[in-house]
């Protein structure tokens, strides 16, 4: 990526969200972060919003607008993930009362207003939590598709098993109806599913490299990932926790680190057994048009080098 790209980061921090936000804030030459919009997911929206503000403080970026968004999915009851991220949503580190202000107004209205004012196909939306805010914006103001360059999201699973049920990945499972609206929006979509994020696991040596950075951000991220890795190591038998959301930021900065395929993706919104499953037509058997660039491969060493370089620029 050469010039700075404007984007909106829609997030449910969440430990991996926190690393992704710091990653983005450290990459100021490539990324013009218009705002953080928060959504209920890993923890309730009051916590995800407080956490987004805390993370901006950590980066010395009290200028970043933070808008609170949806407190529940479109139709489903909210499912959270405190068992992974802790009650605060940022297990592993102390939480302070944030200085970064919460902006007035709802996140969905900010997304609509920003896209309506934007140049055609100029803004990238980066949801890394349940897709509720994005779906509500599309439903309330369908004309905003004109301002969207691309939606680059973390979510879904196909070749990997699910992480919240055998069939589904958490972000899609929490709000499958929102995912259905987003997948049908008719704008370019890149999805980074568990198929690729499970190939970018944090390891002890990678945590040590982050901890050795001569700044606060390196130690904060090392502490967060030490706590975060515990859950996934036990659950998936992986060497460390998969860094889901930071994969979105790496894709924005250096898409050549990834490989995928244009495919048709649909989401299950009815079956109790497979609710939230992302059904990927990998071999084109349906003849349906491709609506998603589905990412399956990553250069993990290149990803961690990019992440470490970006975090090194923070306070």
Task: Work out what residue 169 binds among Ca ion, ligand RIB, none; the CB cut-off runs from 5 to 8 Å by kind.
Answer: ligand RIB
**156 is a site residue for Ca ion (CB under 5 A):** no
Of residues 276, 257, 260, the one with CA closest to residue 268 = 276
**Active-site positions?**
244
Stretch touching Ca ion by CB under 5 A, among 81-89, 206-214, 238-246, 262-270: 238-246
Residue found by looking up tokens 């609509």 in the block: 112
**91 is a site residue for ligand RIB (CB under 6 A):** no
Q: Which is nearer to ligand RIB, 21 or 128 (CB)?
A: 128
**42 is a site residue for ligand RIB (CB under 6 A):** yes
Q: Which of 70, 163, 293, 308 binds ligand RIB (CB under 6 A)?
A: 163
Stretch touching Ca ion by CB under 5 A, among 101-109, 212-220, 244-252, 287-295: 244-252
Is the CA virtual torsion 249, 253, 254, 260 positive or negative? positive
Helix (H, G, I), strand (E, B) or coil at 217: helix
Distance, CA of 172 to CA of 79 (rounded, Å): 11
CA 127 to chain centre: 5
Q: Which is nearer to ligand RIB, 58 or 112 (CB)?
A: 58
**20 is a site residue for Ca ion (CB under 5 A):** no
Hey, what are 265's tokens? Answer: 């993706």
**245 is a site residue for ligand RIB (CB under 6 A):** yes
Site string for Ca ion, 84-123 (x = CB under 5 A): ----------------------------------------
Own/partner contacts of 172-175, CB < 8 Å, gap of 24 or more, are 172/130, 172/131, 172/267, 172/276, 172/277, 172/278, 173/79, 173/275, 173/276, 174/41, 174/73, 174/76, 174/78, 174/79, 174/129, 174/130, 174/276, 175/73, 175/74, 175/76, 175/130, 175/131, 175/132, 175/135
Q: Which is nearer to ligand RIB, 19 or 137 (CB)?
A: 19
Of residues 271, 289, 262, 295, the one with CA closest to residue 176 = 271
**70 is a site residue for ligand RIB (CB under 6 A):** no
**Residue whose C-beta lies closest to ligand RIB:** 170
Residues 6 or more apart whose CB falls under 8 angstroms from that of 155 comprise 127, 128, 131, 169, 171, 172, 179, 191, 192, 193, 278
Residues 6 or more apart whose CB falls under 8 angstroms from that of 230 comprise 241
Q: Which of 7, 8, 10, 17 binds ligand RIB (CB under 6 A)?
A: 17
Q: Which of 110, 170, 258, 294 binds ligand RIB (CB under 6 A)?
A: 170
**73 is a site residue for ligand RIB (CB under 6 A):** no
Q: Check: CB of residue 106 under 8 Å from CB of residue 83.
A: no
Number of residues near ligand RIB (by CB under 6 A): 15
Q: Which of 14, 89, 92, 246 binds Ca ion (CB under 5 A)?
A: 14
Q: Which of 10, 12, 160, 195 binds ligand RIB (CB under 6 A)?
A: 12
Residues of this chain that bind ligand RIB (CB under 6 A)? 12, 14, 16-17, 41-42, 128-129, 154, 163, 169-171, 244-245
């Amino acid at each position: 990526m050469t010039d700075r790209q404007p984007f909106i980061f829609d997030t449910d921090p969440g430990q991996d969200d926190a690393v992704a936000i710091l990653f983005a804030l450290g990459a100021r030459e490539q990324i013009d972060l218009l705002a953080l919009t928060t959504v209920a997911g890993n923890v309730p929206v009051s916590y995800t919003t407080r956490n987004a503000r805390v993370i901006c403080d950590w980066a010395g970026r009290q200028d970043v607008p933070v808008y609170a968004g949806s407190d529940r999915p479109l139709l489903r009851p909210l499912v959270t993930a405190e068992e992974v991220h802790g009650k605060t949503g940022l297990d592993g580190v102390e939480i302070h009362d944030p200085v970064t202000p919460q902006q007035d107004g709802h996140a969905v209205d900010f997304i609509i207003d920003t896209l309506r004012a934007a140049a055609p196909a100029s803004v990238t939306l980066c949801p890394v939590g349940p897709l509720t805010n994005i779906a509500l914006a599309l439903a309330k103001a369908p004309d905003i598709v004109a301002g969207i360059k691309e939606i680059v999201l973390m979510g879904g699973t196909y070749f990997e098993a699910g992480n919240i049920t055998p069939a589904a990945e958490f972000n899609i499972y929490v709000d499958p109806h929102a995912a259905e609206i987003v997948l049908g929006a008719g704008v370019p979509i890149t999805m980074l599913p568990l198929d690729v994020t499970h190939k970018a696991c944090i390891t002890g040596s990678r945590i040590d490299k982050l901890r050795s950075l001569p700044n606060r951000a390196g130690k904060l991220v090392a502490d967060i990932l030490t706590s975060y890795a515990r859950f996934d190591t036990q659950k998936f038998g992986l060497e460390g926790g998969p860094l889901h959301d930071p994969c979105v930021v790496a894709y924005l900065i250096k898409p050549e680190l990834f490989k995928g395929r244009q495919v048709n993706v649909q989401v299950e919104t009815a079956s109790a057994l497979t609710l939230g499953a992302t059904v990927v037509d990998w071999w084109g058997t349906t003849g349906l048009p491709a609506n998603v660039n589905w990412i399956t491969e990553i250069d993990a060493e290149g990803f961690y080098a990019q992440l470490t370089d970006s975090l090194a620029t923070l306070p």
